[in-house]
Structure 1
Amino acid sequence: MNRILLLEDHERLAVLMSKGLASSGIVVDTFERIDHAWLALQQVPYQAMVLDRGVPDGDGLELLQRLRASGNNIPCLVLTARNALHDRVTGLEAGADDYLSKPFAMEELVARVKALLRRPVACLPLDPVAGDLRLQPSANLLWCGAHSQLLAQAELQVLLVLMRKPGETLRHNLLEAAAWGFEAVTPNALDVVLHRIRKKLQLLGSKQQISNVRGVGYALCTKKAP
């Protein structure tokens, strides 16, 4: 399932957009402020984002410019009520991949977001590799040599983050956000997912393991030789 970030401070419009995208299998995390959206983008591997230009703490393009300056190439659609040519040019020059003026038809928004989701993000590997593991997100499969295990969506999202930063200790809340965005989950939801991943690593005979660094977080690393 695809997950995108929406920066939009108009509550009713944000709800309508979320519902329209959800009907096409796209999960939306909505934020009203640039600083909140920036924090979320550091924690969740979103597949695309939709930005409104006019939000309470500035112009949505400020967020886009910060992301591009940091090397983040996440596909981006910019929304605006401004129809002037120079506003469209400004958005594209800031790093936007597409532009949609308000008011718009929901069908067009969904079609444009789907088009963005078909664009690979250049800065991230499509099938990340860590040690003897290879992740195939398009099929929800984890491979070790010629053997594979089917992953649930939450398991896939957690492994995506761990395998893109092998050996790095990642905090509990970051892994939760990767799996479920900012939805409310039970306190032990991540523990259950990690337990299932560990069992699948054992079934595959992998030399990789998920280590718990007490009080800090979790890391994917190679087992030490006995």
Structure 2
Amino acid sequence: MYRIILVEDHERLATLVCKKLNIAGIAVDVFERIDTAWAAIQKIPYQALILDRGLPDGDGLILLKRLRQANHNIPCLILTARDILHDRVEGLEAGADDYLPKPFEMEEMVARVRALLRRPAVSIILEPQYHDICIKPEISVMCCHDKQVKLAPAELQIMLLFVQKKADVIRHHALEAAGWGLSEAVTPNALDVVLHRLRKKLGVIDSSLGIVNMRNLGYALREIAVVKKPEF
């Protein structure tokens, strides 16, 4: 399942957009402000951004420009009531990939988001590889050579973060945010359960990688020793 971020302060519109995208198999995290959206994008490997311009803490283009200056290539669709030529050009030159003026038809919005996710440049991000594993978010699968295993939604998002960060140590709260979003309440042992399942699934596909607990620091994806079965 894809996961995207929506930055929109109109509650009713945000609810409708989320509902339509959820039906299309796309998970959505919603934020109303530039600062909270920026913080979320640093923690979670979103596959696309839907951005309003008129936000409580400024023009949404501030967020987009900040992302592009940081060389973050997340594809962006702008939804806004500012639909004159100057505004559209300004949004595209700031780094937007598409522009949809309000009011709009939900079916068209979903189609435009899907188009963003299908672009070749995005596909590279959407099928990341690290050592001997490859993640295919569109079908929620993790592969190693000729073997593959299905991933549940939280497992998929956490593995995407691990692969994105490679061997970096990732904090407990960052993994929770990736798996369940920043707005969902997570039970105390939910992350432990998911990490246990992921370790087993890495073993099922015979990956050389394992999820290692770095005491008092977090978790990291590291190469582990593989014990070969004796031959008779």
- TM-score normalised by structure 2 residue count: 0.89
Which residue matches 1:130?
A: 130
Which residue of structure 1 aligns with residue 216 of structure 2?
Answer: 215
Whichever residue aligns with residue 146 of structure 2, its letter is: A
Counterparts in 2 of 1:120 and 1:43: CA distance versus 1, 3 Å = farther
What is the one-letter code of the residue matched to 1:63? L
TM-fit CA distance, 1:9:
0.9
1:205: how far off?
Answer: 3.4
Distance change in 2, residues 1:93/1:210 (3 Å): same
Does structure 1 retain, via aligned residues, the 8 Å contact 2:133–2:207?
yes
Q: CA RMSD in A?
A: 2.1
How big is the shift at 1:83?
A: 2.3
Pairing 1:193–2:194 present = yes
Alpha-carbon distance in 1 for matches of 2:222, 2:139: 24
Q: Find the counterpart in structure 2 of residue 202 from structure 1.
A: 203
Moved more, 134-143 or 75-84: 134-143
Q: Write out per-residue CA displacement over residues 77-99 of structure 1, whole angstroms, 9 at most, x where no aligned residue.
A: 11221222111100000001111
**Contact 1:33–1:57 (CA<8 Å) still a contact in 2?**
yes
Mapped contact 2:116–2:122 kept (Cα < 8 A) = no
Please state how far the C-alpha of 1:122 moved relative to its aligned partner.
5.1
Query: For this pair of structures, how many residues does the alignment match?
Result: 226
In 1, Cα distance between the equivalents of 2:137 and 2:17? Answer: 26
2:210 and 2:223 in contact (8 A); partners too = yes
Does structure 2 conserve the Cα–Cα contact (< 8 Å) formed by 1:172 and 1:217?
Answer: yes
Could you give the per-residue CA deviations for residues 88-112 of structure 1, whole angstroms, max 9, x where no partner exists?
Answer: 1000000011111111122221221
Question: SS of the residue aligned with 2:198?
Answer: helix
1:9 equivalent to 2:9? Answer yes
Alpha-carbon offset, residue 50 of structure 1: 0.8
Change (3 A) 1:122 1:109: closer
List gaps (5 residues or longer) in structure 2: 228-232
Gaps of 5+ in 1: none
Give TM-score scaled by structure 1 length: 0.91
Q: Does 1:85 align with 2:93?
A: no
Alignment map for 1:33-52 (pairs within 5 Å): 33-52=33-52
SS for the counterpart of 1:90 is helix
Contact 1:75 1:121 in 2 (8 A): no
Distance change (3 Å), C-alpha of 1:205 and 1:103: closer
Partners of 1:91 and 1:156 lie apart in 2 by: 32
Match in the other structure for 1:145: 145
The answer on 1:108 being equivalent to 2:108 is: yes
5 Å-filtered alignment, 1:11-30, equals 11-30=11-30
Measured at CA, do residues 22 and 141 of structure 1 come closer, stay the same or move farther in structure 2, by a change above 3 Å?
closer
Amino acid in the other structure paired with 2:86: H
User: 1:162-181 alignment to 2 at 5 Å?
Assistant: 162-181=162-181
Aligned CA distance change for structure 1 residues 42 and 68 (closer, same or farther; 3 Å)? same
> More deviation in 39-48 or 158-167?
158-167
